Structures are given as C-alpha cells and as structure tokens.
Structure 1
Amino acid sequence: MRQTLFVLAALWCGAASAAGPASGEWNFRVLLDDSPIGEHRFALVPTGEERKLTSEAQFAVKLLGVTVYRYRHSATEQWRGDCLRQLASKTDDDGTPEKVDANATGDNALTVTTAKGTQSIDGCVMSFAYWNPALRKQERLLNSQSGKLEAVQVSRTGSGTVEVRGQQVAATRWRIATPAQPIDIWYSAEGEWIGLDSTVSGGRKLSYRLK
C-alpha cells in the first residue's frame, strides 16, 4: 500500500483558464473501500504573477481497531502559469521519511534535490496537479513525494456520477496511466476537480471525495 498511496497524495473556485484556476480550496475525504481513513486538503492563492499551492494529507488505516498504516504529507508549490517554479515537501510514509526541494533554474529548467541526489529537468515541469486542467496534456509529471519525474499517459475515459457533499454530480473521468497504477480523476461539467479513484494493494479502492 505504501508504494501506491503516495502517488495519489502528492496529490476550484471560479472558472478554469488555460493555466487553471487563480485560487481555490479543495478539502477531500479519503476513503479506502468506502471507509474513511483521513483527509487531504489543498489551498491555492495568487502571489503577484504566480500562484502558491499548499497541501496537507493525513491517513490512518486500521485493522480490527489497530492502526496498521500511517501517512502524513505536506507540500508547498509555487507556480507560474502551468510551470512549477518551486516545491518543498516532507513526508512520513509509515515511519519512512522523505523530503523534496525543487527550484527553478533560469526560465526553463527545474533543479530537484532529494536524499538520493540532485537532478536538473529541462522544460516546463508539472507535478501531479489534479486541480489544473493543463495536466491532461502532459507526458511526464513530477512526483512531489519522491522527486521522480514519471512518464504518464492521460486520456478521457468516459463519464458517470460522483458523490459530492452527499449529492450525486455528473462528471467526466480522465485517467492518468502511471508506472505504478492508473489514477482516475473526476471533473464536473464546470471543470471543477471533484474526485479521484485508484486501485491500491490487494485490489482495494482508494477514493477522494469533496467534503
């Protein structure tokens, strides 16, 4: 489960533009096989010509009343348009710590530092920014927990309904195919990110639903 949850946690107000919303808050309940295990909160605010995203995740999986897995993740990202300019994240993945620091190098590169070393990535880099519709056009995404640049394929895979604050809402599903497992992202007709689904270890279903 450890290797699967972190991709999902690294995890709108107003209409979305080409570079996504200017600001917003997303507070998600996190469920495992429809049972609540925690929450993941995101807040996006404008900072001059850029935007700052902060996120906090906290999960606890229990078996017969005993906690068998804990996860905490916090990250701060600075964005200019659709390009990530800065990232600082800390994670406690069931006792295993991880830390990522990334900073823009010039106008078109990002230097990423982890405990395993430093790498330079050319071009406009995006993280797994589910809130930004530009994600759908990406072929690579930066994992905010591990600092790895992952190859992805993003495609529209249908429609359905998603429960949002107790109501069923019509939604479009986009699938992010990753090296680990596919992640399904749900958007409302207005372009709002409203949900996430994925299959984790043991065939269990992990879901995000707006509170």
Structure 2
Amino acid sequence: MRRTLRRWTGVLCLGIAVLQPATAGVDEWNFRAFLDGSPIGEHRFVLSGAGDERRLSSEASFAVKLLGITAYRYRHSATERWRGNCLVRLAADTDDGGKRSRVRLDAEGDGPLAGCVMSFAYWNPAIRSQTRLLNAQTGLHENVRVSRIEESVIDVRGTATQAVRWRITGPAAAIDIWYSTADEWIGLDSTLESGRKLSYRLP
C-alpha cells in the first residue's frame, strides 16, 4: 500500500479544490484526503493574481496509521506560476516516506516547461482536453487520456450535488475527478494497486 500511495501522490500534488471566496484577488481552498473512508490528511491551497497571471502555493500533508502507529508520511510543498493555461514556473519540495525530492522548473529555454505545459491541475477544466501532463513531484511528463464517464450525485459539505465524473488514465492508477455543473472541481477518487480507495472531499 505504501508504494502504491507514493506513486499516486506524485500526480496528485498540483490538484486544487473547489473555489471558496476569500479576500479580494486571493482564493483559498482546503481539501480532506481519505483512505478507505478514514481521514489521512489534507491539501491547502492559496491562489492569487488576476487575468492571465496567477500564483499558486500549496501544502499537502498525509499520515497513514496502522494499529495506531504512523506507517507512512507524505509532505509536499509547491509554488506555481501560471500564464493563462500554461505553467511557467514550478518549485516543489517533497518528503515521500523519508525519500526527499526537489523540482525547480522554468519555462525559459527548452526544458520541461517549454511551450505550453499543464500539470495535474484539477482546478482548471482545461485539463480535460490534455494528452500529456507534467508530474510536479518528478518534473517529468506523463501521457494521459481524459474521458467523460458519467453524471451522478456526490456529497459536497453534506449536500447532495449533481456532478460529472471524468477519468484520467495513464498514471499508475486511474484518477476520477468530479466537476459540478458549473465546472468547479468538487471531488476525486482513485483505486490504488493495493485495492484501497483514496478520495478527496470538501469538509
């Protein structure tokens, strides 16, 4: 389970939850993470800027316990700069069960951000038309396929909410992302190789 969760979190770390108004020009989100229905941590995100120029800072923290003992920890911190739908700068630091990694990317030159590149940025509905996404934890591109699966109802802050499920295939485990009818990201589910279910829900 630890290995499969590690592989999955590598493509999760740039996802953002549904919009909640904050101060002018700044938006904040909090998303709780669950493993088989048990809480394991959260993501917190702050998006600032206006028009095409935006800056996102994110903090992720997971802890998986077994018989009351922490068996696995995951910490991820990232800062992104976006110009329209293009990621132009990324700085990410990750502690994945004691394995530390650091990614620093800039759109200048012919590196991984050359051209117009998107990461696994679930907050942006434009992700649904992509065939290649950047993994923020590794700094590498992954070929993906995004397809519309179904319309259904999911729980959002205790309220049954009409939503559309889209599936991203290509990473280690398929990722189902839920959007409201207003194209807001409101949920996420993924079944790991171990068979356990990882979910993101709004508190």
Same fold (TM over 0.5): yes
**Does 1:103 find its partner at 2:106?**
yes
Q: Which residue pairs with 2:156 in the alignment? A: 164
Measure the CA separation in 2 of the matches of 1:183 and 1:23: 28
Partner of 2:9: helix, strand, or coil? helix
Q: Which residue pairs with 1:128 in the alignment? A: 120
User: Does structure 1 retain, via aligned residues, the 8 Å contact 2:107–2:113?
Assistant: no
1:179 CA drift (Å): 3.4
Q: Which residue pairs with 1:144 in the alignment? A: 136
Measure the CA separation in 2 of the matches of 1:121 and 1:38: 30
Q: How does 1:7-18 map to 2 (within 5 A)?
A: 7-11=11-15, 12-13=18-19
User: Does structure 2 retain, via aligned residues, the 8 Å contact 1:28–1:210?
Assistant: yes
Q: TM-score, normalised by structure 1?
A: 0.85
- Letter of the 1:37 counterpart: I
Match of 2:9 among 1, 5, 10: 5
1:122 CA drift (Å): 3.7
CA distances 1:45-102 after superposition (whole Å, capped 9, x unpaired)? 1167400011110000001101101000011100000000100000000000011111
**Does 1:175 find its partner at 2:189?**
no
Q: 1:88 to 1:6 in 2, by over 3 A?
A: same
User: Does structure 2 retain, via aligned residues, the 8 Å contact 1:10–1:145?
Assistant: no
1:135 CA drift (Å): 0.5
CA distances 1:13-48 after superposition (whole Å, capped 9, x unpaired)? 48xxxxxxx863321110000100000112211167
Q: Which residue pairs with 1:19 in the alignment? A: none
**Does 1:194 find its partner at 2:186?**
yes
Partner of 1:180: helix, strand, or coil? coil
Q: How many positions carry a matched residue from both structures?
A: 193
1:121 CA drift (Å): 4.9
**5+ long unaligned stretches in structure 1:** 15-21, 112-119
Match of 1:24 among 22, 27, 36: 27
CA distances 1:97-117 after superposition (whole Å, capped 9, x unpaired)? 0111110116xx5x3xxxxxx
In the TM superposition, structure 1's runs of 4+ consecutive aligned residues that sit over 4 Å from their partners are none
User: Does structure 1 retain, via aligned residues, the 8 Å contact 2:32–2:41?
Assistant: yes
Partner of 2:58: helix, strand, or coil? strand
Partner of 1:146: helix, strand, or coil? coil
Q: Aligned Cα RMSD in Å?
A: 1.8
User: Does structure 2 retain, via aligned residues, the 8 Å contact 1:55–1:76?
Assistant: yes
Measure the CA separation in 2 of the matches of 1:121 and 1:104: 5
Measure the CA separation in 2 of the matches of 1:49 and 1:168: 33
Measure the CA separation in 1 of the matches of 2:87 and 2:113: 11
